[in-house]
Amino acid sequence: MNRLIHLTLLSLFLIGCRSYIKIGSVKNNVCKSLEKKTVLFAVFVDSDRTHPWSAYDINSTLDSIQVSIDWLEKQAVANGISLDIILEHGINASKDSVIPFKEKFKYESLSGTLFKYKDLTKGIDLVDAWSDNVSKDVARSLPKDTSELVLTKNKLNNRERLIAKLRNQYKTDNIALMFFINNYFENEISVAFHTSSGTEIEYAIVSKKQPTVIVHEFLHLFGACDLYLSPFDHGVFPRLKKRRVMKRYPNEIMAFTHKNLDSLNLSPLTKYLIGWENQLDKKEGRFLVNRRRKVLEY
């Protein structure tokens, strides 16, 4: 049985504004609201301890991504949201135009690297460096770009350069960068990084092919948060809040990744976080803020 751990490094940094609270992942970073023209840019990566991507693996994963996209667009229509998701993927031009890129994880696997040190930030830095190295190769494989789009003031890393190029190429701001690894360890994780960050570009690494997992990680990039109980949830109240949400929304995709995609949907909480609703009922908002406060209306 596969052990599926989803870890969202989502520190909901809260910015106080009177009694209204802005949630850090909402309308933030590269992937703001999930609407209009959006590019899901998939990058297939081989590393030492993953199975090499075969043409069959890549094609079946692309099919799975397309199923995920179709489901999301159907949900958008049902919610009156205009959404057009375009699936694109990197092609490793330096290797006779084969698709996968190659980059080793520092400590054998994604989870081995991420959890190498007690201090999780060290592991995140190592995985960031991995994604940055891949991004450098991907950016090189794209057509030359003369735009001078600078996303952060201080430094421009390879992930930022790649995003700037993709934004210019596809003429949209919404670029969801997703790395796919061909799972070797049965218990490998899928994870989204920097979804609340103001300085680091968010991205996801997906180690599964199930559309439910792909949609789940994709939604993280647009601000959704995990609604299932994980070993990373500490404290009685946060755990209680999650249990309540799971009970209230038994088909919520951010809570139940083992279920079939067709049986799942989006709760008001997720719709608010990805920008499909501009306000959240006070009762629903209690998952995010305490009862004296309200989440910001956008």
* Beta carbon nearer to Zn ion, 6 or 161: 6
Q: CA–CA separation, 229 vs 238, rounded Å?
A: 9
Q: State which residue has the least CB distance to Zn ion.
A: 6
> If binding is defined by CB under 5 A, does position 8 make contact with Zn ion?
yes
> If binding is defined by CB under 5 A, does position 165 make contact with Zn ion?
no
* Beta carbon nearer to Zn ion, 99 or 205: 205
* Beta carbon nearer to Zn ion, 58 or 214: 214
Amino acid sitting at position 200? E
What's the min distance (Å) between Cβ of 12 and Zn ion?
Answer: 14
Amino acid sitting at position 248? R
> If binding is defined by CB under 5 A, does position 103 make contact with Zn ion?
no
Segment interacting with Zn ion (CB under 5 A) among 5-13, 23-31, 57-65, 199-207: 5-13
Q: Are 96 and 144 in contact (CB under 8 A)?
A: no
Burial class of residue 224 (count of CB atoms within 10 Å of its CB; 0-12, 13-18, 19+): buried
* Beta carbon nearer to Zn ion, 94 or 230: 230
Size of the site for Zn ion (CB under 5 A): 3
- Torsion, Cα 246 202 35 267, to 10 degrees, reads 0
* Beta carbon nearer to Zn ion, 6 or 89: 6
Burial 262-278 (b: 16+ CB within 10 A, else e): eebbbbbbbbbbbbbbe
DSSP3 helix / strand / coil % (the chain, rounded to 5): 35, 20, 45
From residue 49 to residue 68, the character string flagging contacts with Zn ion as x (rule: CB under 5 A) and all else as - is: --------------------
What's the min distance (Å) between Cβ of 181 and Zn ion?
Answer: 16
Residues 220-279 that bind Zn ion (CB under 5 A): 226
Segment interacting with Zn ion (CB under 5 A) among 6-14, 64-72, 158-166, 260-268: 6-14
* Beta carbon nearer to Zn ion, 110 or 162: 110
Q: CA–CA separation, 43 vs 123, rounded Å?
A: 21
Q: Are 9 and 194 in contact (CB under 8 A)?
A: yes
Q: CA–CA separation, 95 vs 231, rounded Å?
A: 41
> If binding is defined by CB under 5 A, does position 194 make contact with Zn ion?
no
Segment interacting with Zn ion (CB under 5 A) among 1-9, 32-40, 85-93, 230-238: 1-9
Nearest 5°: the CA angle 6, 10, 13 is: 165
Nearest 5°: the CA angle 261, 257, 109 is: 125
> If binding is defined by CB under 5 A, does position 157 make contact with Zn ion?
no
* Beta carbon nearer to Zn ion, 226 or 252: 226
Residue among 4, 6, 130, 165 that touches Zn ion (CB under 5 A):
6
CA torsion sign for 141, 174, 227, 9 is positive
DSSP annotation of 277 reads S
Segment interacting with Zn ion (CB under 5 A) among 2-10, 71-79, 128-136, 242-250: 2-10
Segment interacting with Zn ion (CB under 5 A) among 4-12, 106-114, 139-147, 154-162: 4-12
**Residue ranges in contact with Zn ion by CB under 5 A:** 6, 8, 226
